[in-house]
Amino acid sequence: MKSTTMCVLVVMLVGSIMGKLSPPERSYKILMLLPVSSRSHRNVFTPLAEALADRGHKIVMLTNQPKSSKHPNIEDIPHDLPYYREENINFFDNRKNHSRALLMLETVLPAVARELYKVPVVKDLYKRRKEFDVMVIDQLFNEVAYPFLHEVPFITVSTSGMEPRMSSVLGNVPNPAYVPHFLQDHPRPLSIWHRFYNTFSHIRHALYWRKWTILPLIQKAISAQFPELPLLLDLERNVSLSLLNSHFSINAPLPLLPSQVEVGAMHCRPANPLPQELESWITGSRSGVIYFSLGSFVRSSSMPVQYRDLFIQAFRRLPQRVIWKYEGELEDVPDNVMISKWLPQQDILAHNNVKVFFTHGGLLSMQEAIYHATPLLALPIHSDQPKNSMFIKNSGLGDFLIWEELTTDMIVDALTKILNEPKYKENVLRMSVPLRDQPVSPTELAVFWTEYVIRHKGAPQLRSPAAQLSWVEFLMLDVIFLLHLAVIVLLFTLRRIFRVITAKILGSSGKMKEKND
Ligand SMILES: *[C@@H]1O[C@H](CO)[C@@H](O)[C@H](O)[C@H]1NC(C)=O
Ligand SMILES: *[C@@H]1O[C@H](CO)[C@@H](O)[C@H](O)[C@H]1NC(C)=O
């Protein structure tokens, strides 16, 4: 009797801890649109797709990525256009040359816009788009898929966390006094120059993307094929909800609208047991283990040779063992270094003999390190990685290095410092615990809100009135103008009155003088 009561209690507790969602009213059809995406963007979508599929919904994914889930309820539709292929982009070349990276987008995105709707499977999917209950679109780089959103409720996923441009569309214009630009951050607190520069970057990027260059190019290609369609920016304004790959415990807390839901670190999960060989290799290292990976987007084999040699020399000097994710053959590998092209990253990071994660500073890698409480040394390559690296340093989770300044000593010193000073581990733990302390898991939260948007037919109750305002109204320029006008009129009137009075007084005192004479 007692034990059954206990059991019921435990079940109830577990149920409430896991925040079990009530069963869905029916099976929904959901279209996920990520025709221009990297593997890391895809990795943000997969946990959400699988969780929705587990609840009996049918998921279709339009993508440029290889299949990532074997779930029977998830159907992949790859468009197979030869653009934006990770294997064709050399990020080491693009790294310092921003104009080159932008130039790539300026040619790739319009090309996708021209050709996407000619691909037979995409054409067919477009024709039957109204069958879907909701669209979930990758916010970054996927304006080419906006025609799908016409007259269907849709949700955007910001894989890089809160993105100022999209946030402004929803009616929440971020304040550049403290919200970083999506690719860059500066040491905190921001100096006046950094705030000036940050404001300038916010405005320049929004204009470059929406008004001057990228959107007009895509719009031109889309209008040629869909002359009847509303403008892409008008379609975008109809967004119901934005899921953000961020969480206030691992980013700066920011003011958000009810239509902006933080679901950061959906892909993070408790560790699974490691393969036997790896487990004993890690446990067998008396001074701990360093895990080195430059992520899924950048292949180490495209790394310039001089850096490769630097790493080998540096690792040779360390008393720790090093696990290096490297695709390709390497000669002259020291005994304390293990090379592999695929590694169970989260299970490695969760091992308590793994002391430092030497990383490119990708957002998902950083989230995994925080979730599993492993200090970081970042070596950022491109896009938001420099910003994440600055965050790692600013919040005391580790440090970062810069490719141009790299020497063997620097690598050894930085790794040794992070290994030996306990504050890094303490700081990362201090962030890890609140990240796991949530009423429901981020994936469940994302599932809830996705179904909510369907249940409420686009959930118009979430729309901020700010989204309807023009810039003049939003910044209250008209009101400020009126205020100025009122002050000017008041001053002018007061001056007239003052003049009349002084003239009277002076006039009468003048007359008195005359009389006295
Ligand atoms: C950056 O890339 C552009 C386009 O490929 C090229 O014209 C320019 O010379 C490059 N700049 C530098 C500094 O390498
Ligand atoms: C805007 O969204 C609502 C539902 O979210 C939809 O019914 C309507 O057709 C959409 N309008 C346009 C122009 O796409």
- Pocket, ligand 1, Cβ cutoff 6 A: 97, 99-100, 103
The predicted pLDDT at position 100 comes to 76
Percentage of the chain surpassing pLDDT 90? 79
The predicted pLDDT at position 21 comes to 86
Atom 14 of ligand 1, residue of closest alpha carbon: 97
* DSSP calls for 387-406: HHHHHHHHTTSEEE--GGG-
Q: How far is CA 99 from CA 34, 95, 105, 212, in A?
A: 24, 10, 10, 15
Contacts of 290 (CB under 8 A, 6+ apart): 315, 318, 320, 321, 322, 323, 354, 355, 356, 357, 358, 415, 419
Element (H, E) at 324: strand 321-325
Atom 14 of ligand 2, residue of closest alpha carbon: 151
Q: Tens digits of per-residue pLDDT, 10-47?
A: 444 444 444 578 899 999 999 999 999 988 899 999 99
Nearest partner of 243 among 224, 262, 222, judged by Cα? 262
Counting ligand 2 atoms within 8 A of each CB, the residue from 151, 229, 461 with the most, and so the one to mutate, is: 151
> What value does the mean pLDDT of the chain take?
91
Q: Tens digits of per-residue pLDDT, 473-499?
A: 999 999 999 999 999 999 999 999 999
**Contact between residue 183 and residue 386 where contact means Cβ atoms under 8 Å apart:** yes
The predicted pLDDT at position 512 comes to 58
Atom of ligand 1 nearest to the CA of 97: 1
**Contact between residue 397 and residue 370 where contact means Cβ atoms under 8 Å apart:** yes
Atom of ligand 2 nearest to the CA of 154: 5
The predicted pLDDT at position 287 comes to 95
Atom of ligand 1 nearest to the CA of 100: 2
Element (H, E) at 321: strand 321-325
pTM for the complete prediction? 0.90
pLDDT at 1 over 50: no
Contacts of 208 (CB under 8 A, 6+ apart): 214
CA of residue 448 to ligand 2 center, whole Å: 21
The single-letter DSSP state of residue 229 is S
The predicted pLDDT at position 514 comes to 58
Could you tell me where the DSSP H helices lie in 55-135?
A: 91-94, 98-115, 120-127
The predicted pLDDT at position 12 comes to 43
Atom 9 of ligand 2, residue of closest alpha carbon: 151
Average pLDDT of the residues in 69-94:
84
CA dihedral 41, 44, 50, 55 (to 10 degrees): -120
Q: Among the listed ranges 83-87, 135-139, 424-428, 438-442, which one has the minimum average pLDDT value?
A: 83-87
Q: Which residues pair with 292 in a beta bridge?
A: 324, 358
Q: Tens digits of per-residue pLDDT, 355-400?
A: 999 999 999 999 999 999 999 999 998 888 999 999 999 999 999 9
**Contact between residue 128 and residue 135 where contact means Cβ atoms under 8 Å apart:** no
CA of residue 219 to ligand 2 center, whole Å: 19
Q: At which residue do the structure tokens 């016409």 appear?
A: 150
Q: Tens digits of per-residue pLDDT, 321-350?
A: 999 999 888 888 999 999 998 899 999 999
Average pLDDT of the residues in 459-474:
95
Could you tell me where the DSSP H helices lie in 186-334?
A: 192-206, 214-225, 232-236, 276-283, 305-316
CA dihedral 239, 462, 170, 227 (to 10 degrees): 30
Domain boundaries, the chain: 27-266+453-460, 276-436, 469-502
pLDDT at 3 over 60: no
CA of residue 98 to ligand 1 center, whole Å: 9
Q: Do 27-266+453-460 and 276-436 come out as alike in CATH topology?
A: yes
The predicted pLDDT at position 13 comes to 42
Q: Tens digits of per-residue pLDDT, 203-223?
A: 999 999 999 999 999 999 999
Confidence of residue 186 (pLDDT cuts 50, 70, 90): confident
CA of residue 6 to ligand 1 center, whole Å: 68
What is the SS3 assignment for 179-212? CCCCCCCCCCCCCHHHHHHHHHHHHHHHHHHHHH
The predicted pLDDT at position 185 comes to 81
- How many Å from the N-terminal Cα to the C-terminal Cα in the chain? 120
Atom 12 of ligand 2, residue of closest alpha carbon: 151
CATH number 3.40.50.2300 is the correct assignment for the domain at 27-266+453-460: no
**Contact between residue 144 and residue 112 where contact means Cβ atoms under 8 Å apart:** yes
The predicted pLDDT at position 517 comes to 57
- Distance CA(35)–CA(138), nearest Å, equals 8
pLDDT at 272 over 90: yes
Nearest partner of 432 among 377, 366, 351, judged by Cα? 366
What architecture (CATH level 2) is domain 276-436? 3-Layer(aba) Sandwich (3.40)
Counting ligand 1 atoms within 8 A of each CB, the residue from 90, 93, 95, 100 with the most, and so the one to mutate, is: 100
Reading the block at residue 448, the tokens are 């809830």
